[in-house]
Chain A
Amino acid sequence: DQQVKQNSPSLSVQEGRISILNCDYTNSMFDYFLWYKKYPAEGPTFLISISSIKDKNEDGRFTVFLNKSAKHLSLHIVPSQPGDSAVYFCAARRNNAGNMLTFGGGTRLMVKP
């Protein structure tokens, strides 16, 4: 049973437009959420995170929104660039299991020039 789900396996966006990647979770014990980006033949790299006490965190072109009541988070990339083309994983940490992250299945983003 996947506790963190990314329901869209892929997303295609035109350069300059907004990319919105979504993530849903089921475990109310998750208190910290992260987004990782992965290029082919490389390990995932940390992108942005948000604590459950916040509903938004922004870093340059990247913004993560958290809706706790809906158990939903989203990553917005504005404006999208071709170099953003990668697989994006959402991850969640349980507040009683500090070392363990639960990852979603990933969304492949393709930004077309």
Chain B
Amino acid sequence: DVKVTQSSRYLVKRTGEKVFLECVQDMDHENMFWYRQDPGLGLRLIYFSYDVKMKEKGDIPEGYSVSREKKERFSLILESASTNQTSMYLCASRRGGGGETQYFGPGTRLLVL
């Protein structure tokens, strides 16, 4: 059974703060993803990584960066949080080699004041 965990379920930060969201998966998956979910917009891909130290921009990378130093861990960084980054953040992982299904963590609800 795949398990994807996220470091926090809820976070409250102030504008301008640096924010770290951590994601860990335990299935040795090559691919990891960060999405944000907003009402009516569904899930939008921020960044993904297909290997350690590798990253690719998704559809909405502005204002975010990522880090993948170990295969099981993928971090999303908000260098200077802004109120329009208030959202639900979802991490997912997927095996490499053509696997289709992405497995999601429970999400982090971030409020930026």
> Which residues of A line the B interface, CB within 8 A?
2, 4, 6, 9, 32, 34, 36, 41-46, 49, 89, 91, 93, 98-106
B61 at the A interface (CB under 8 A): no
Evaluate contact between A89 and B42: CB separation under 8 angstroms. yes
Evaluate contact between B42 and A106: CB separation under 8 angstroms. yes
With A and B bound together, what is the CA distance between A23 and B104 in angstroms?
Answer: 21
Write out the residue numbers on chain A whose beta carbons fall within 8 Å of the beta carbon of B4. Answer: 43
By Cβ-Cβ distance, the 4 closest A-B pairs, closest first, are A43-B104, A103-B42, A103-B43, A105-B42
With A and B bound together, what is the CA distance between A102 and B45 in angstroms?
Answer: 8
Evaluate contact between A9 and B40: CB separation under 8 angstroms. yes
Among B50, B94, B105, point to the contact of A43 (Cβ < 8 A). B105
> Can you give 7 contacting A-B residue pairs, CB < 8 Å?
A36-B104, A43-B107, A99-B94, A101-B45, A102-B59, A103-B43, A106-B40
Write out the residue numbers on chain A whose beta carbons fall within 8 Å of the beta carbon of B35. Answer: 103
Give the tally of cross-chain contacts (CB within 8 A). 59
Interface size bucket, B side?
20 to 34
With A and B bound together, what is the CA distance between A4 and B42 in angstroms?
Answer: 10
Among B41, B48, B101, point to the contact of A100 (Cβ < 8 A). B48
Write out the residue numbers on chain A whose beta carbons fall within 8 Å of the beta carbon of B50. Answer: 99
Min CB–CB distance A24 → chain B (angstroms)? 13
